[in-house]
Amino acid sequence: MSIIITVSNQKGGVGKTTTSAALTSGLFLAGKRVLGIDLDPQGNLGFCLGANMDSHYTILDVLKGSVPIQEALFHSEYGDLLISDITLSSSGLEKIPSNRETILKNAIQPIIDQYDYIVIDTPPALNLLTVNAYSVSDHLIIPMASDILSLVGLAQLKETIESVRSELNPVLNVLGILLTRYNGRTTLSRDVLEMAQQLANQIHTKVFETKIRSGVAIAEAPAHGESIFLYNPTSAAVADYLAFIDEIAPEIQLKEEQDNGYY
């Protein structure tokens, strides 16, 4: 059974898709079987990892039942992908009379045992697509840029998480808050870290020890359709993402073993 990780924040520009792409490609390059699912109508996850965006089925085709999920998979250099495009923003999924929150869960069942990890990138909104991601996930990662505006709206995120846990997915685990564009030498970054830690306590999680610094390679890699790990492995920000994957790996493995009754 796949371990499913969703990367989510309703605020845009916080490094959500970059983090999703780093997890997808990083785990794949480490020898894992990985599927990346793009639930953001902007379609940036597929773009970042070199997917052909013009002539391929999308996640919307799968959610609507138009094509089998096996036919919609895009086999990239960094794992399999279910890509998206702008049509996902007007999908009409909200008009489905019942089980709207578990459409994704049902759609991926035929292939869920084929992967070690499934990484889901979500839109910058707390909408039906986001709830679908939460309802199927084992773990949630919340990227947050190191600025004050990134704190706005996280109370609503807390409410959404609690609602999904009570009604759809009681085992949803918030792995932690990942600070991006972090500069520990500035007062602003240190202040945001302190406030993020307070927020993490409220949702019974933590701020990850690893912080992601800014880096040109992070911005340049998507234009080349390359993983950040191959585009510029010497970048400080790339090293941060490697450290982040190393940080979360033991916790993910421990929860998997607990869920399987090994402890």
What is the 3-state secondary structure of 203-229? Answer: CCCCECCCCCCCCHHHHHHHHHCCCHH
Does residue 181 carry a pLDDT above 60? yes
The predicted structure's pLDDT at residue 143: 95
The predicted structure's pLDDT at residue 256: 56
> Is the pLDDT higher at 24 or at 95?
24
The DSSP-derived string for 88-138 is GGG--GGG-SS-GGGHHHHHTGGGGGG-SEEEEE--SS-SHHHHHHHHH-S
* Backbone angles phi and psi of 169, in degrees to 5: -145, 85
Residue 186: pLDDT band by 50, 70, 90 thresholds? Answer: very high
Average pLDDT over residues 96-124: 91
Average pLDDT over residues 13-20: 93
* Backbone angles phi and psi of 108, in degrees to 5: -90, 0
The predicted structure's pLDDT at residue 260: 56
* Neighbouring C-beta atoms of residue 219, cutoff 10 Å: 12
Average pLDDT over residues 86-105: 81
The predicted structure's pLDDT at residue 258: 52
Average pLDDT over residues 239-261: 78
Tens of pLDDT, residue by residue over 202-227, are 888 999 999 999 999 998 998 888 99
Average pLDDT over residues 7-13: 89
The predicted structure's pLDDT at residue 257: 56
Pick the range with the lowest mean pLDDT from 62-66, 117-121, 163-167, 259-263.
259-263
Whole-model pTM: value is: 0.93
Burial 120-130 (b: 16+ CB within 10 A, else e): bbbbbbbbbbb
The predicted structure's pLDDT at residue 263: 41
3-state helix, strand, coil in the chain (%, to 5): 50, 15, 35
- H or E element that contains 143: strand 139-145
The predicted structure's pLDDT at residue 262: 43
Does residue 90 carry a pLDDT above 90? no
Does residue 139 carry a pLDDT above 60? yes
Does residue 109 carry a pLDDT above 90? yes
Task: Name the average pLDDT for the chain.
Answer: 89
Average pLDDT over residues 115-125: 94
Does residue 68 contact residue 39 with C-beta atoms inside 8 Å? no
The predicted structure's pLDDT at residue 97: 66
Average pLDDT over residues 166-190: 93
